[in-house]
Amino acid sequence: MVEINDLELEVYISEARVDYETKENLQDILDNAPSNEMHSIISDERCKRYRLLFKNYIAYSVRNEMFTNWDDDEKFEGILFRQYSKSKFLDYVESSTSTESAKFMMNAESYFHIGICCLNHIIDVACLEESVIEEVF
């Protein structure tokens, strides 16, 4: 779920887990793998939920993870929560927005790109401030 309040972007994400309890017959889908080695990935009451707040964002994008491209030129730290120092999204933001005006208005030295890799989506956010992350119940 994504909510926007003026220049704030609020994102709620849930952890996921492998569902070992449910025995699904996935053999019809994947004939070459034994079905006892395949399990669904789910998010339920046992998984933690988080609220991420991005204040003063410049741009954001949500992509279907099935259609993303790996790019060896992109540089980032992290695995599922990434901070990029070089990315196509940063290039896009630089070329399509007035980032210098944003930095001046917000008295910021620079902006940065955060990428959140979820089960089905990739969320990219260009922002001027560190995000606030808190666990929600």
Q: What pLDDT does residue 35 have?
A: 56
Contact indicator for 126, 91 with CB cutoff of 8 Å: no
One-letter amino acid at 92 equals: Y
Q: Measured over all CA atoms, what is the biggest interatomic distance in the chain, rounded to whole angstroms?
A: 58
pLDDT in tens, the chain (137 residues): 555 567 789 999 999 999 888 766 555 556 666 556 677 888 999 999 999 999 889 999 999 999 988 899 999 999 999 999 999 999 999 888 887 776 666 667 788 899 999 989 999 999 988 899 999 98
pTM of this structure? 0.78
One-letter amino acid at 80 equals: L
Q: How many domains does the chain have?
A: 1
C-alpha separations of 50 from 17, 53, 74, 97 in Å: 15, 10, 26, 29
Cα–Cα dist 72/65, whole Å: 17
Full residue range of the structural domain in which residue 15 is found: 2-136
